[in-house]
Amino acid sequence: MTDPFPPEVVEQIAHHMNGDHADDNVLIVRGLGGMPTATAARMSGMDADAMEFAAVVDGIEVPVRIPFSERLTERRQVRAEAVRMYHDACAALGEQPRH
């Protein structure tokens, strides 16, 4: 089976997440990544099993890997999984989701 997320696809997804959802990235890292004091986070990579972030915690950039709820096999699944992660993170943090 070929990798459903070649480097150019991961780059496109990261560009979108970091450009349009920077605040959501921080919430996801705080709520699901075990980094409740993160002040910034950018998506740094992903594979079929998880999304990876570079989070800033106490002024230091640290890697955070957050597993998907299931192994993803196609690109269209990424959006639904990112939305799920955002909503789960909001619930974990007691935040009201924006959308």
Residue whose pair of structure tokens reads 């996801």 in the numeric block? 28
First to last CA, the chain: 35
| Those residues with Cβ within 8 angstroms of residue 97's Cβ, 6 or more apart along the chain or in another chain | 86, 87, 90
Architecture of domain 7-93: Alpha-Beta Barrel (3.20)
Residue 77 burial class via C-beta count within 10 angstroms: exposed 0-12, middle 13-18, buried 19 and up: middle
Question: Which residue from 43, 26, 30, 33 is spatially nearest to 93, judged by alpha carbons?
Answer: 30
pLDDT in tens, 34-69: 999 999 999 999 999 999 999 999 999 999 999 999
pTM of the model: 0.93
Q: Is the pLDDT of residue 25 over 80?
A: yes
Handedness of CA 90, 43, 40, 32 (dihedral sign): positive
Take residue 64 and report the two structure tokens written for it.
Answer: 């955070």
